[in-house]
Amino acid sequence: MPVTRDATLDWMKRFAGEMAEHRAELVALDTAIGDGDHGTNMNRGMTKALEKLDGAEQADPGAVLKTVAMALVSSVGGAAGPLYGTLFLQMGGALAGETEVDLPRYAAAWRKGLEGVQARGKAQPGDKTMVDAMTPAVEALEGASDLDSGLQAAVQAAEEGMKATTPLIARKGRASYLGERSKDHQDPGATSTYYLFKTAAEALAG
């Protein structure tokens, strides 16, 4: 099944649902190594995104993702709002005007998004951020032979990347202020990124 406008809408609705369901978990993770707002930030931003998606019809998958990007940037302060905003804006640009997106195009859109996140936040893999979950997941999509197996591999890679943030010392974002004390905690942004891939697989895989 290719990635369509409707499937992209379903993905974003599922992601919003997951951010509501896991708000407290993300708050707890961010309380340990940040300021405790990641869950409320993401829940507020995705609630706003759903309002915007309901308020007007989007022509294609790119327009859906750009609408989400605008909502996140305008409603979420802090690091993750603009970073996810950049991700969705870049992905949306790559998918503008498309009706049925195949695996190579979908993977290329993710690559654009990840490049945007890194251009904006300057994080490299190993810095204990969302980039640690996103990078291996995007690589899994790029290395796959079909969309369904690519999405399954991406979810697994994102989960492993998320878990691998636990022993790391943070080098970007608020958690980096803690230095050594950021060790032994899973990164909140890597965790929300895992949920983004999990919902992508649920919505976009056949």
Name which of 35 and 54 has its Cβ closer to ligand ADP: 35
Name which of 186 and 199 has its Cβ closer to ligand ADP: 186
Residue whose C-alpha is closest to residue 71's, from 93, 54, 96: 54
Minimum Å gap between C-beta 132 and ligand ADP is 8
Residue of the chain from 23, 174, 202, 205 that contacts ligand ADP (CB under 6 A): 174
Residue of the chain from 151, 173, 199, 203 that contacts ligand ADP (CB under 6 A): 173
Q: What is the DSSP string of 66-135?
A: HHHHHHHHHH--TTHHHHHHHHHHHHHHHTTT-SSB-HHHHHHHHHHHHHHHHHHH---TTSSSTHHHHH
Rounded Cα gap, residues 65 and 62, in angstroms: 5
CB count, 10 Å around CB of 59? 11
For residue 98, give the DSSP letter: -
Contacting range for ligand ADP; rule: CB under 6 A; set: 9-17, 100-108, 124-132, 155-163 = 124-132
* Total of chain residues touching ligand ADP, rule CB under 6 A: 24
Q: Is 83 in the site for ligand ADP (CB under 6 A)?
A: yes
C-alpha distance from residue 137 to each of 39, 65, 114, 193 (Å): 22, 19, 10, 10
Interaction mask 20-39, Mg ion, x per CB under 5 A: ----------x---xx-xx-
- Binding interface with ligand ADP (CB under 6 A): 30, 34-35, 37-38, 41, 78-80, 83, 117, 121-123, 129-131, 172-174, 187-190
- Binding interface with Mg ion (CB under 5 A): 30, 34-35, 37-38
